Amino acid sequence: MAAQPKPLPIETPNYLQGGGLIGWLTTVDHKRVAVLYALSAFVFMAIGGIEAMLIRIQLWSPENHFLTAGVYNQLFTMHGTTMIFLVVMPLEIGFFSNFVMPLQIGARDVAFPRLNAMSFWLALAGGIFLHLGWIWGGLPDAGWFGYANLTERYFSPGLNLDFWVVGLLILGVSTLASGLNFFVTIVAMRAKGMSYMRMPMFVWAVLITSILILIAFPPLTVGLVFLLLDRFFGTHFYVAAYGATPILWQHLFWLFGHPEVYIMALPAFGMISEILPVFSRKPLFGYPMMAYSIILIAFLSYGVWGHHMFATGMGPVADSAFAITSMLIAIPTGIKVFSWLATVWGGSLRMTTAFYFGLGFILEFTIGGLSGVMHATAPVDLQQTDSYFVVAHFHYVLFGGVMFAILGAIYYWWPKVTGRMLSERLGKLQFWLTVIGFNGTFFPMHFLGMWGMPRRIYTYGAGLGWTSLNQLETVSAFILGLAFLVMYYNLIKSTLSGEKASADPWDGRSLEWSIASPPPAYNFAHVPEVRGRDAYWVMKYGRAGSRGVAMFVAGQVPPVPESMQAPPTEPIHMPAPSIFPLFIALGLSIAGAGLVMGLWRLIILGGVTLFTSAVAMGFEYPSYGQEPHDLEEIAPSSGGIDLRKAGLWAFLGSECVFFASLIATYVVYKSRNVGGPGAGILEIPLTSVSTFALLMSSLAMVLALNAIQQNKKNMMRLWLAVTISLGLVFLGVEAYEFAHFYHQGLAMQTDLFGQSFFTLVGFHGFHVSVGVLWLATVWFASFSPKFDKSRALSVEMAGLYWHFVDIVWVIIFTLVYLMQQVKGA
């Protein structure tokens, strides 16, 4: 193994200084990663904005031929995809969560810094992938929701949808890695004294958003995998002519899609809950209920996806159930609106740009929420669905809500990020241009929708009465575009020559304002100890000040406590830079490009690059948090939770949802045979042998862990070898079984049973293969002299994954083999 990274010097410049290009390419500092996210998001924001402007030009007049129908479809598809996956989520999850959350909980970095860097490079790779259609065959054109059958090869024969599928899969991996990272960071790395009910509301929002990411993205991943198999390997998961149903895509997509709305909305709620108290000079009203309402929103969001499908004919029972849950979710959201208004009411208000956007958020988001309640009623939804009324609702929630919060957060936290103040004059100009442009663009769409204008049409007839409102929308859209040009100018001007920001320019309430602007590389010279809610406010004013309006005289802010200003008295160990996160993203991108272009050499090259980079990153440095003193130097652990264990458990929880989605699809499709042999071809005796081998491998894994805990390295290697061998036996039997089925007339493309069976069992086999490679890597590493019982956790981690794979197989074997035979009898 490589040597320990050198300790960080005491006299460390702020995180923005030093390193040059190589420093930025290899950085694992959560603040630098956040800046990289912001830069990429601002670029994609400009691209998405240009796409929106072209759409509005096309709709300026009836029978307009500025764009062809095909180009128009590409633009609105990429506008939606870009704004959701490449702008809003990177800004909220990548920028603000990355930069602010670790500072607010008193940590020196996130739980897994290199995984964090990998998440960014994957996000950038996915964004580039989505736009490669500019070079090969045009952009995706089936809508950002990708409804089947439009996405099938027959209807979209080019490479454009191929890039869309692979790009979204790469982005999904990036987002899942971020969600896992932030979940573990908040659960295990809070400063001493920061209980859950003392966390800033933004941290609460990031925590619950991370959980939503872990359980909402697997269904989308499964849906995209099915689409990828349809487009590349000849299956028919969404083709009605083969007995399948296109509605399967809608269930999988909206099972992700509606939690995704709250994956975007909850961080916005957290941002507003930070901004309003600071500029109202009051603590957040109803803090406990705000926290509980975030949890309730997340819980309910996973049970409302069907209200997007009222028009598909699910039936009165399903429609009623989803209508009720959709109405219920308005209750915790209403609690939040009431809490924000009560926070502002009676406060000592400071009318900054951030506060303007906070107030604008409340108004605009409430309008979007009210129209959303309308859509919870099935009869109303049936009239409004696929009309411009839905476009208006969607934008009032995501722009009027989420984007207003993001813009407010930019003006609020930009001084902390760059050490420079943004211009308040330009900021307020941007705010009023945004309010005028936004409402002028999207409010008339409510009327157009009620007058019958359908969404996703590229032109309209002259006698329909839609022209004047469309022209108003187009003019307003350009006003909105001007507002963002003002923002870009303000960002660039302030970064180059703006007024220098103090550590605490707003008299803030949370810990990020207790350190310099911009922060040093190590964040906190001395990890703070939290003594109450609004931790930094308590440091400045005491507990009495934290419970009411503080003493704010003539714009003066109490000085930062000396304990927070003092430089570190000894070197601080920080995560060292690494190039391997970039190489991992590069390897996955090469493999994806090879898949799209049908070049197996590229697929193999990308796979080898991905695997070797992942292994190299694992052995690059000893894991931080492995030794107690390392963990305490980065951030004290809350409750002694091991970071790696918490991360693996979170990952396995997400994997449960992934396999549940595959199993549910198998249950729906298993009996829809179209001429194939069906489940009667399955051979229980042979599969029972491989099942026994896999179960015995778990016993061998337990013995291997027990051996290393007793420092018996030879015995550990023996039992690891047994585990690996039994795993290979299982894979060998499965490969033989697949080949045997093929010769008996059952292939993945034969019928729905075949494709659902091979996909479910094949993905489990892939997980077993990953486990075998993991165990083999640990086995080789065990020959190092440094590998002793202190490294037992490495074996335990591999064992947890292996036991999970075995448990999943027990479920699959019972459901696919045993229960099918019982049913046949």
| Length of the chain in terms of residues written | 825
Which of 577, 763, 744 shows the shortest CA–CA distance to 666? 763
DSSP state, residue 500: B
pLDDT at 506 over 60: yes
Alpha helices for 376-466 (secondary structure H): 378-384, 388-397, 404-418, 424-450
Q: Give the span between the Cα atoms of 130 and 634, in whole angstroms.
A: 37
How many angstroms separate the CA atoms of 246 and 248, rounded? 5
**pLDDT tens sequence across 383-429:** 899 999 999 999 999 999 999 999 999 999 999 999 999 999 999 99
The predicted pLDDT at position 550 comes to 45
Contact 340, 291 (CB under 8 A): no
Residue 583 CB neighbour total at 10 angstroms: 19
CATH code 1.10.390.10 for 645-824: no
What's the rounded Cα separation, in Å, for the pair 223 and 165? Answer: 10
| Cα distance between residue 471 and residue 457, in whole Å | 16
Which residues does residue 454 pair with via DSSP β-bridges, in sequence order?
Answer: 387
| 617-655: b (≥16 Cβ within 10 Å) or e | bbebbbbbbeeeeebebbbbbbeebbbbbbbbbbbbbbb
* Predicted pLDDT of residue 154: 87
SS3 14: strand
State pLDDT tens for residues 754-798.
899 999 999 999 999 999 999 999 999 888 888 888 888 889 999
CB 342 within 8 A of CB 273: no
Res. 500: pLDDT tops 90? yes
Residue 626's pLDDT band (cuts 50, 70, 90): very low
Q: How deeply is 312 buried, as exposed, middle or buried, from its count of CB atoms within 10 A (0-12, 13-18, 19+)?
A: middle
Distance separating alpha carbons of residues 142 and 160, to the nearest angstrom = 10
> For the chain, which residues make up each domain, given as ranges?
32-497, 511-565, 645-824
**Percentage of the chain surpassing pLDDT 70?**
91
Which pTM does this prediction carry?
Answer: 0.93
Looking at every residue in the chain, the average pLDDT score rounds to 89
- Binned at pLDDT 50, 70 and 90, residue 749 comes out as confident
Instruction: Report d(CA 149, CA 156) in Å as an integer.
Output: 9
Kindly report, residue by residue over 228-246, the tens digit of the pLDDT: 999 999 899 999 888 899 9
Span 520-544, pLDDT tens digits: 888 888 888 888 898 898 888 876 5
Evaluate if residue 669 carries a pLDDT over 80: yes
pLDDT of res. 548: 47
What DSSP character marks residue 314?
A: -
pLDDT at 538: 86
Nearest one of 644, 618, 651 to 630, comparing CA atoms: 644
The reported pLDDT for the residue numbered 636 is 42
Single-letter amino acid code for the residue at 362: I
Residue 560 has pLDDT above 60, yes or no: no
Helices (H), 640-711: 643-669, 684-709
- What are the beta bridge partners of residue 572? 8
Q: What percent of the chain has pLDDT over 90?
A: 68
pLDDT value, residue 525: 82
Tens of pLDDT, residue by residue over 75-103, are 999 999 999 999 999 999 999 999 999 99
d(C-alpha 68, C-alpha 792), whole Å: 63
DSSP three-state, residue 454: strand
| 210-224, 417-431, 447-461, 659-673: least confidently modelled range | 659-673
Are 596 and 166 within 8 A, CB to CB?
Answer: yes
User: Per the CATH hierarchy, to which homologous superfamily does domain 32-497 belong?
Assistant: Cytochrome c oxidase-like, subunit I domain (1.20.210.10)
Please report which confidence band the pLDDT of residue 375 belongs to, taking 50, 70 and 90 as the band edges: confident
pLDDT confidence of residue 558: 59
Give me the pLDDT at residue 811, please.
95
Residues 6+ apart with CB under 8 A from 731: 765, 768, 769, 772
Bond preceding residue 64 cis, omega within 30 of 0: no
Label residue 559 by pLDDT band (50, 70, 90).
low
Between CA 276 and CA 254 the distance in angstroms is 32
Q: What pLDDT digit, counting tens, does each position of 805-817 carry?
A: 999 999 999 999 8
Residue 823 has pLDDT above 60, yes or no: no
Q: How far is the C-alpha of 495 from the C-alpha of 489, rounded, in Å?
A: 10
Question: Nearest 5°: phi and psi at 107?
Answer: -100, 160
Q: How confident is the model at residue 569 (pLDDT cuts 50, 70, 90)?
A: low
> In angstroms, rounded to a whole number, what is the distance separating the alpha carbons of residues 283 and 533?
9
d(CA 343, CA 549): 11
Residues 358-364, mean pLDDT to the nearest whole number: 96
Average pLDDT of span 302-318: 90
What pLDDT does residue 634 have?
Answer: 43
Confidence at residue 635, expressed as pLDDT on a 0 to 100 scale: 42
